[in-house]
Amino acid sequence: MDFSVVLQFLISGVNLGCIYAALGLGFFIVYGVTRVLNLAQGEFVMLGGMLTVSFYAMGISLLPSILLAMIITALAGAVLYRFIIYPARNSSGVTQALLTVGFAFAIEGIALLVWGWEYQSLPNFLDSPNIQFWGATIFGQTPWVVGSTFFMVIGLFLFFGRTIQGKALRACADERLGAKTVGISTERMALFSFILAAILGAVVGAVITPLTMTSYSIGFPLTIKGLLAAFVGGITRVEGVILGGIALGMVEAITAGLMPSGYYGVIALGILIIVFLCRPRGLLSARGKV
């Protein structure tokens, strides 16, 4: 096989992988702190993308548009926790997951009402041109996707490792009762984790829109892929989520290159589900019953 073809697979794989890893981070944060499987994570991505497009279309420049989208999506995250999850904080995990599904449906319906069916897009950030690289093409938006994921991961590591707020979140993730005993408000931390996940989702939504376009209905497939990435890598660790995301991206890019069109979705997801069922604790996961 031609070297440039292999390189092209690698580049698409890294690009997709970074998107899935960034999606998975949202699951990781919420699940780690609250043990809620937030099946509305993809809707945050949808909201971030659609809001950015709307503000940008109003004539606001790109960065403030993204910031506004982040703020509104953060509000949606706060609403989800405060009015839907918090009242059911003592319910079973499945009930809580179903509650997030209800929220996702409502958000999707509202988005359909506000924005209609049409797919929307944005120009590449700073109009970055496509780059030719040893016979392979790097799309102009790809460096932004990879860069923002990298930035988010570094940011999360610093936040969890260095700040008191981040350490409090980690304490909730490790041992809720213990965290409560030393005076950490687990409820506030849970609210915070939903807001953080919503903000990360909004950023992902804004960054991928020039590449993949966005519409009211993109949330659910993204939820599935982010969830599988997080499951496969191990939802309880950042490294696991990133590994899972990159693995899904690579499998999807390679099967898309080698298989007749269309089949790659089935094969990529199928492989991931099988890998997951064989290693249900995730490729990297540590302790605990799964």
Partner 1 sequence: MSKILLSGHLQYFGVALFAIVLLILPLLAGPYPIAVLVDIGFYSIVTMGLIILMGFAGQISLGQAVFFGLGAYVSGILTTQYHLSPWLALVLAAIATGGIAAIIGRAMLRLRELIVAGVTLALNLVFYYLVTSLVDLTGGASGMTNIPRLSLDGFIPEYTLLNYYLVWIIAFLLLIFSLNLVNSRVGRALRSMNQLAGGSEETAQALGVNIMKYKVQVFALSAIYASIAGSIYAYYIGCIEPDTFGVQLSVRVVIMAIIGGMTSPWGAFLGAGSIVGLTELLREFMPVLIAGPTGAYELIAYGIILVMALLFLPQGLISICHRLVPQGGH
- Site for partner 1, residues 25 to 84, rule: CB under 8 A: 37, 39, 84
With H, G, I as helix, E, B as strand and everything else as coil, classify residue 84. helix
Shortest Cβ distance from residue 23 to partner 1 (Å)? Answer: 13
DSSP 3-state of 132: strand
Query: Whole-number minimum distance, CB 35 to partner 1, in Å?
Result: 8
Question: Count of CB atoms within 10 A of residue 79's CB?
Answer: 14
**Hey, what are 107's tokens?**
């958000």
C-alpha distances out from residue 136 to 41, 106, 200, Å: 33, 42, 30
E strand or H helix that includes residue 36? none
* Residues between 261 and 280 that touch partner 1 (CB under 8 A): 261-263, 265-266, 269-270, 273, 276-277, 280
Our measurement of the distance from residue 173's CA atom to the centroid of its chain's CA atoms, rounded to an integer in Å, reads 19
Task: Please calculate the CA angle 53-68-46 and round it to the nearest 5 degrees.
Answer: 50
Give yes or no for residue 290 binding partner 1 (CB under 8 A).
yes
Q: Residue 153: count other Cβ atoms within 10 Å of its Cβ.
A: 18
Distance CA 180, CA 27 (A): 23
Residues 101-120, one symbol each (x = binds partner 1 by CB under 8 A, - = not), give xxxxxxxxxx-xx--xx---
Q: Which of 92, 127, 177, 181 binds partner 1 (CB under 8 A)?
A: 92
Residue 19 Cβ, how far from partner 1 at the closest point, in Å? 16
Q: Does 97 bind partner 1 (CB under 8 A)?
A: yes
Least Cβ distance, residue 249 to partner 1 (angstroms): 16
Q: Which parts of 117-176 interact with partner 1 (CB under 8 A)?
A: 117
> Which residues of the shown chain bind partner 1 in the complex (CB under 8 A)?
37, 39, 84, 87-88, 91-95, 97-99, 101-110, 112-113, 116-117, 220-221, 223-224, 227-228, 231, 261-263, 265-266, 269-270, 273, 276-277, 280, 289-290
